[in-house]
Amino acid sequence: MKEKYMKNNNYTMVKQVSWLSIAVNLFLSVFKLIAGIVARSNAMISDSVHSASDVLTTFVVLIGVKVAGKEADKDHPYGHERLESIAGIILSVFLGGTGLVIGYAGIKKIMLGIDGSLEAPGLLALIAAIISIGIKEGMFWYTKSVAKKASSTALMADAWHHRSDALSSVGSLIGIGGAMLGFAIMDPIASLVICLFILNASFKIMKEATNQLVDKGCDEKTMQQISEVIMNVDGVLSIDSLRSRIFGNKVYLDVEIGCKSTLTLIESHTIAEMVHLRIEDTFPKVKHIHVHVNPSTIA
């Protein structure tokens, strides 16, 4: 019941921030497209395409989190958490594809610039870049905080999508500013820089989501913290084995503890149950723990 409530609450948080993200990105994509066309800025039009792609990827987040929150069933006895990781991979593909399209367009414009055929962009493009940086950086921090509360990989990927959009607008700002100062080729060069930022963000998202699909273990710091919690349980004399695997955005643990060999079955079970409860209370991401008790030779 507690887990079901947490899933519903997490989905509600993700849904709220996702719809806000969609509204913001729709506004920015239209605003930047108009500014790019009116001010003759290739960098700003590229930025607009990036914001428009954010709308599509946020829908992927909503679907991924909703499906991942489904209860375990006969065909999926361990739940559906990994589907959110798949949503993260889809996000990274979208993001990478957007970056490549923007990079290709930038290279074409740079080749044009060699012939001296480029025009300097207007002031509206510069204003649009400044507005975009402020809004997207704010959305990054807000989305990131909600993603942490909801333990959502897909939403965290979307937060970094906002950050990559803010960085791309910084690139636009530099490029547009340089072009307005007489270096027209700076505008398409900015598009190329934007492409690199986007591809880097895409790689990071893909790496994290892939790690969640291949049963990668927890980091050393987390394992040390788990060990300390276990050893603080009365009756635990040693940790004989401790293994973890990340399943979607959740963690599964296999623990072998050493206890007095003279303990009754009930006493051993009570200690194992206490280890189970302490870990669950301390680490909300831990979904399942298997605790095995070994007779210990330690006095």
pLDDT per residue as tens digits for the range 48-105: 877 787 787 777 777 776 766 677 666 665 666 667 777 778 878 877 887 888 788 7
Query: Would you state the pLDDT for residue 211?
Result: 75
Contact between residue 61 and residue 98 where contact means Cβ atoms under 8 Å apart: no
DSSP, residue by residue, 76-134: -TT-STHHHHHHHHHHHHHHHHHHHHHHHHHHHHHHHHHTT------HHHHHHHHHHHH
Q: What is the CATH number of domain 2-213?
A: 1.20.1510.10
Most confident of 110-114, 159-163, 183-187: 159-163
For the segment 190-219, the average pLDDT, to the nearest whole number, is 78
For the stretch 32-41, pLDDT in tens is: 899 888 888 8
pLDDT (0 to 100) of residue 7: 53
Query: CA-CA distance, 296 to 299, in Å (whole number)?
Result: 8
Q: Please report, for the chain, the start and end positions of each structural domain, with discontinuous segments joined by +.
A: 2-213, 220-296
Given a cut of 50, whether residue 1 has pLDDT beyond it is no
Q: Which residue is associated with the tokens 């591809």?
A: 199
Q: What is d(CA 15, CA 61) in angstroms, rounded to the nearest whole number?
A: 9
Question: pLDDT at residue 21 above 70?
Answer: yes
pLDDT of residue 229: 93
Q: Work out the number of other CB atoms within 10 angstroms of the CB of residue 277.
A: 12
Model pLDDT for residues 235-266, shown as the tens digit of each residue? 999 999 999 887 766 788 999 999 998 999 99
pLDDT at position 125, please? 85
CA-closest candidate to residue 186, choices 79, 113, 289? 113
Tell which wins on pLDDT, 248 or 172.
172
Q: Which of 142, 136, 141, 139 is nearest to 168 (CA)?
A: 136
What pLDDT does 131 receive?
Answer: 92
> In the predicted model, what is the mean pLDDT of the chain?
80
Given a cut of 50, whether residue 2 has pLDDT beyond it is no
Cβ-based neighbour number of residue 70 at 10 Å: 13
Q: Do the first three CATH levels of 2-213 and 220-296 match, i.e. the same topology?
A: no
> Superfamily assignment of 220-296 in CATH?
Cation efflux protein, cytoplasmic domain (3.30.70.1350)
State the pLDDT confidence band at 5, using cuts at 50, 70 and 90. very low
Q: Which residues contact 241 (CB under 8 A, 6 or more apart)?
A: 254, 255, 256
Q: Please answer whether residues 125 and 39 qualify as being in contact, where contact means their C-beta atoms are separated by less than 8 angstroms.
A: yes
Work out the percent of the chain whose per-residue pLDDT is above 70.
84
